[in-house]
Amino acid sequence: MDVFEKVKEIIVSELNVKPEQVTLEANLKDDLGADSIDAVQIIMDLEDEFGITVDEEQAQEMLTVKGVVDYIEANKK
């Protein structure tokens, strides 16, 4: 499974959105309705899934699904 598909699966699970809503261009807050608590849970799930660590500043910069995927691809082990 590629990074986007796994990220999509996590977002769908956490935010209870339809899979077709989760596109690379989707904004986590504006398009998918994530609040700060959702964002923290998604980050924790991503850290567990991909074996990465995301600091608060980096998390603030991940506004879109593409931003999340790009970060993971650049930092996964």
In this predicted structure, what is the pLDDT of residue 2? 94
Non-local (6+) Cβ contacts of 67 within 8 A are: 61
Output the domain CATH number for residue 28: 1.10.1200.10
Query: In this structure, which amino acid lies at residue 75?
Result: N
Whether 76 shows a pLDDT value over 90: the answer reads no
- 16: three-class secondary structure by DSSP: coil
Give pLDDT tens digits for 28-75.
999 999 999 999 999 999 999 999 999 989 999 999 999 999 999 999
Query: In this structure, which amino acid lies at residue 1?
Result: M
Task: With CA atoms as reference, report the closest residue to 11 among 30, 24, 28.
Answer: 28
Please identify every residue annotated as catalytic: 35
Q: How many domains does the chain have?
A: 1
| Domain carrying residue 24 | 3-75
Whether 77 shows a pLDDT value over 90: the answer reads no
